[in-house]
Amino acid sequence: MRWLLHLDMDQFIVAVEVLRRPDLAGKPVVVGGDGDPSRPRQVVASASYEARAFGVRSGMPLRTAARRCRDAVFLATDHAAYDAASATVMDTLRSFDVPVEVWGWDEAYFGGDVADPFRLAREVRAAVLAATDLSASIGIGENKLQAKIAAQYAKPGGIFQITFGSWPGLMSERPVSALWGVGPKTAKKLDALSLRTVGDLAACDPAVLLPVFGPRMTAWLPAAAAGHGDVSLSTEPWVARSKSRETTFPTDLTDPSLVASHVAELAAGLTSEVVLDGRLVTHVAVKVRFAPFFTYLRSMKLREGATADPSVVSAAALLVLEKFALDRPVRLLGVRVDLLLPGVGDGEGAVGATGGD
């Protein structure tokens, strides 16, 4: 029988920090930004269960977190540490004889044709704990959606199984937002159609969805609500489609020449990084967030085709920047470069598509 399992590390970022600071175990810990909650424009990346008990949530401003939980210990985010811990977790998972599909720092799908998924889950959980001292929860399902949701039921540190048989009993009364892929906007649109629970959505006539959602969503929503999901496992290493970097300034930028130099630097820096991975840049996008919070994105395909030249990309980024009227204080600047997929020609330089009939 084919089983999909989902490994989900428990409060991963905080857990990695506590490994380095064992004295913090069992305490309210909040990780985010530079770890200084007195500075504005920083948010919570991860909060320990003890901090969550005070209402601290990821995405919340650090200042708010500090107000809600006076005794919390605040720590700066340390991507390199999470990268390293994640690599150990995934290597451990890959040491089992099953396909593994990594989903970010702290999640992975695995499994396939396994006789005893609970046994596999127990062994994986024990191996991860032994290798990293980190706790994982594991969901078992007949597809990825079921496995992913099962992992939430398994938290913390447990194993939980969902099947088509148990799905309605577990999910029918839950809000549509419990489904992976249904966010606040979609939930609101569904609410306007009086579709509030997963059960409502599973039983609805797709014809009522079609005017509000596109054909894809219309097909997907009721299927997901009935517990259907992807059963494939791709072991292909993840290939980035794009790479971006953005900065929120502690105080707004008002000098357009500073804005321009910052954009040029971001673009050149990103290009240098992706070139190290043997990638070429095809498009460049510039993101500007004006005070108080108006965000715009403008982009351009590189006229000269895919390039590895940082100066070409930064010149293009400046061209894109000209699409903005920089007449207001700038709160955030970002640059994204889109990457040529390896093994794909970009058409530039290809001979004579002169065609015609």
Partner DNA sequence: TCTGGGGTCCTAGGACCC
Q: Which of 28, 33, 111, 139 binds DNA (CB under 7 A)?
A: 33
Q: Who's near 324: CB < 8 A, 6+ residues apart?
A: 286, 288, 296, 298
Site for DNA contains 155 (CB under 7 A): no
Q: Who's near 317: CB < 8 A, 6+ residues apart?
A: 263, 264, 266, 267, 284, 286, 335
Interaction with DNA in 240-269: which residues (CB under 7 A)? 240-248
**Pick 114 or 233: Cβ nearer DNA:** 233
Site for DNA contains 60 (CB under 7 A): yes
Site for DNA contains 122 (CB under 7 A): no
Cβ(149)–Cβ(169) below 8 Å: no
Which helix (H) or strand (E) segment holds residue 250: the answer is strand 242-253
Q: Who's near 264: CB < 8 A, 6+ residues apart?
A: 314, 315, 317, 318
Interaction with DNA in 316-345: which residues (CB under 7 A)? 323, 332, 334, 336
Site for DNA contains 227 (CB under 7 A): no
Residue 120 Cβ vs DNA, minimum distance, rounded to whole Å: 22
Residue 119 Cβ vs DNA, minimum distance, rounded to whole Å: 26
Cβ(287)–Cβ(334) below 8 Å: yes
Residue 158 Cβ vs DNA, minimum distance, rounded to whole Å: 17
Q: Catalytic site residue 304?
A: no
Q: Who's near 180: CB < 8 A, 6+ residues apart?
A: 145, 148, 149, 224
**Pick 22 or 352: Cβ nearer DNA:** 352
Q: Who's near 87: CB < 8 A, 6+ residues apart?
A: none
Three-class SS of residue 245?
strand
Which helix (H) or strand (E) segment holds residue 294: the answer is strand 294-301
Q: Segment contacting DNA (CB under 7 A): 20-28, 223-231, 235-243, 252-260? A: 235-243
Site for DNA contains 64 (CB under 7 A): yes
Q: Which of 49, 54, 96, 103 binds DNA (CB under 7 A)?
A: 103
Count of residues interacting with DNA (CB under 7 A) = 58
Distance, in Å, from the CA atom of 123 to the CA atom of 188, rounded to the nearest integer, reads 41
Q: Pick the catalytic residue: 17, 50, 101, 107? A: 107
Three-class SS of residue 59?
coil
Report how far apart, in Å, the C-alpha atoms of 126 and of each of 135, 144, 159, 186, 242 are.
Answer: 9, 22, 12, 38, 35
Site for DNA contains 41 (CB under 7 A): yes
Interaction with DNA in 281-310: which residues (CB under 7 A)? 283, 285, 292-293, 296-301
Residue 208 Cβ vs DNA, minimum distance, rounded to whole Å: 16
Q: Which of 26, 156, 157, 183 binds DNA (CB under 7 A)?
A: 183
**Angle value at C-alpha 288, between 334 and 213, nearest 5 degrees:** 95
Interaction with DNA in 184-213: which residues (CB under 7 A)? 184-187
Residues at the interface with DNA (CB under 7 A): 33, 40-43, 45, 57-61, 63-64, 103-107, 148, 179-187, 214-217, 240-248, 283, 285, 292-293, 296-301, 323, 332, 334, 336, 355-357
Q: Would you name the residues annotated as active-site residues?
A: 107
